[in-house]
Amino acid sequence: MSAPDGTRVALVTGGTRGIGAAIAQRLRADGFAVATLARSGADVNADVSDEDAVRAAFAHVRERLGPVLVLVNNAGVARDGLAIRMPHEDWRAVLDTNLTGAFTCTRLALDDMLPARWGRIVNVSSVVAERANPGQANYVAAKAGLLGLTRTVAREMGRKGITCNAVTPGVIDTDMTAGLNGDLKAAVPAGRVGRPEEVAAAVGFLCSDEAEYVNGATLAVDGGLGA
């Protein structure tokens, strides 16, 4: 169950820029047939918070390439603000995209992985999932929820040849971190911000055959920030 040319199919959400684009590039280099999914400019355009749109996107990928055997849940948004002042719509928007969107994609991908008895799911969480970050109650809750989802799916699917792992990037040089103050960047023990390609390398390993016995794990790619 693979692409027409015999390669496995990988779907990367939020795959058009930053970390997602680097992951898509890495998986292509590793021999996967990659489809990117984003709101615009992707191989398949869909909002992951819209279940019907995601179902249509999966159907399109299956028709064009074949069943999805690798899923990287990278799509994410941020709407920062103190919890006491955070509008419910900002809470919902972040949870719907960053957490519920990942659940929707995971459930659909499992429909392809189970018959194949092989699959790789990688959830892109964040270093803030395991530490407080004032002003990001919605983002932190969603990214922490991804870790719980990761471990649960890993336990449920472990005997089916399917692994589910997470990476927790720290301060990575992307559009989302461009406005961060210097104090946070200075707090990174590595003394620098990370590169999207460094996150992609970790994801590439977790999607490989060599990572068959790595399941339910959280791999930090944060220069020691979360230590």
Catalytic residues: 139
Neighbouring C-alpha atoms within 13 Å toward the C-beta of 160: 20
CA distances from 21 to 3, 156, 190 (A): 21, 29, 24
Question: By three-state DSSP, how is residue 68 classified?
Answer: strand
Count the helices and strands in the chain (H runs, E runs): 7, 7
Beta strands in the chain (DSSP E): 9-13, 33-38, 44-45, 68-73, 119-124, 162-169, 218-221
Q: Quickly count: other Cβ atoms within 10 Å of residue 87's Cβ.
A: 10
The answer to whether the Cα torsion of 204, 205, 208, 213 is positive or negative is negative
